[in-house]
Amino acid sequence: MKEFNIRKVLSLLVTVCSICLGVIWLIPLVWLVGTALTETSFHMTLLPTTPFTFENIKYVWNAIPFAQYYINTLTLVVVTFAIQFFTSTLAGYAMAFYNFPGQALIFVIIFMQIIIPNDVLIIPNFMTLSEMGLIDSKLGVMFPFLGSAMAIFLLRQHFKTVPRAFGEAARIDGANLWQTIWRVYMPCAKPAYMSFAVISVSYHWNNYLWPLIVTKSPTNRTLTVGLAIFAKSKEADMQWANVCAATLIIIAPLLLAFFVMQKQFMNSFVSAGVKE
Amino acid sequence: MARITTAAQRRRKEIATAYMLLAPALLVMLVFTVYPVLRSVFLSMTKYRMGMEAPEWIWFSNFQRLAGNSTFWKVMRNTVAFALMTVIPSMVLGLGLAMLVNREGRHIGFIRTAYFYPSVMPMIAIASIWMFIYMAGNGLFDQMLIKLGGQSMNVLSDKDKVLPAMAVMYVWREAGYLMVFFLSGLQSINGDVLEAASIDGATGWKTFRHITLPLLAPTTLFVSTVAFTNCFKLADHVIIMTEGAPNNASTLLLYYIYQQGFTNMNYGVSSALTVIMLAMLLVVSLPRFFSEDRKIHYA
Q: Which of residues 10-49 of A touch B (CB under 8 A)?
A: 14-15, 17-19, 21-23, 25-26, 28-29, 31-32, 43-44, 46
- What pLDDT score does A275 carry? 37
User: Residue A101, Cβ neighbours under 10 Å: how many?
Assistant: 9
The predicted model gives A49-59 an average pLDDT of: 90
Rounded to the nearest angstrom, the gap between the alpha carbon of residue A273 and the centroid of all alpha carbons in its chain is 13
Name the CA dihedral angle for B202, B204, B209, B210, rounded to a multiple of 10 degrees: 20
In 3-state terms chain A splits into helix, strand, coil percentages (rounded to 5) of 75, 0, 20
User: Within chain B, which residues score under 50 in pLDDT?
Assistant: 294-299
Q: What is the CATH architecture assignment of A67-228+266-272? A: Orthogonal Bundle (1.10)
Q: Which chain B residues are within 8 Å of A246, Cβ to Cβ?
A: 128
The predicted model gives A132-155 an average pLDDT of: 96
In angstroms, what separates the C-alpha of B233 from chain A's closest C-alpha? 6
Are A271 and B232 inside 8 Å of each other by CB?
no
Is residue B45 a contact partner of residue B57, using CB atoms and an 8 Å limit? yes
Q: Which chain A residues are within 8 Å of B143, Cβ to Cβ?
A: 44
- What pLDDT score does A276 carry? 35
- What pLDDT score does A175 carry? 86
- What pLDDT score does B298 carry? 40
* Fold assignment, B72-267: MetI-like fold (1.10.3720)
> Quick one: which of B57, B63, B176 has its CA closest to B126?
B176
> Which residue of A lies nearest to B128 if distances are taken between CA atoms?
A231
How far apart are the C-alpha atoms of A78 and A91, rounded to whole Å? 20
Over residues A243-254, the pLDDT tens digits come to 999 999 999 999
Over residues B232-273, the pLDDT tens digits come to 999 999 999 999 989 999 999 999 999 999 999 999 999 999
- What pLDDT score does B138 carry? 84
Say yes or no to pLDDT of A34 above 90. yes
Q: Please state the ipTM of this predicted complex.
A: 0.92
> Quick one: which of B137, B38, B294 has its CA closest to A44?
B137
In angstroms, what separates the C-alpha of A48 from chain B's closest C-alpha? 13
- What pLDDT score does A2 carry? 59
In angstroms, what separates the C-alpha of B190 from chain A's closest C-alpha? 19
Exposure string (b/e) for B282-297, b if CB count within 10 Å is 16 or more?
Answer: eebbebbeeeeeebee
Q: Which of residues 47-76 of A touch B (CB under 8 A)?
A: none
Provide the mean pLDDT of chain A.
91
Nearest 5°: the CA angle B283, A106, B223 is 35
- What pLDDT score does B265 carry? 94
- What pLDDT score does B205 carry? 82
Are B232 and A240 inside 8 Å of each other by CB?
no
> Quick one: which of A171, A166, A99 has its CA closest to B14?
A99
- What pLDDT score does B211 carry? 87
- What pLDDT score does A174 carry? 86
> Which residue of B lies nearest to A268 if distances are taken between CA atoms?
B299
Q: So where are chain A's domains?
A: 2-53, 67-228+266-272
**Cα→Cα distances B246→B25, B155, B235, B240, Å:** 43, 11, 16, 14
How far apart are the C-alpha atoms of A181 and A171, rounded to whole Å? 10
How far apart are the C-alpha atoms of B170 and B252, rounded to whole Å? 13
Counting Cα atoms < 13 Å in the Cβ hemisphere of A263 gives 3
Over residues A163-204, the pLDDT tens digits come to 888 888 888 888 888 999 998 999 999 999 999 999 999 999
How far apart are the C-alpha atoms of B109 and B43, rounded to whole Å? 50
How far apart are the C-alpha atoms of A119 and A254, rounded to whole Å? 22
- What pLDDT score does B292 carry? 52
Say yes or no to pLDDT of A49 above 90. no
- What pLDDT score does A4 carry? 67
Instruction: Determine contact: B172 vs chain A, CB below 8 A.
Output: yes
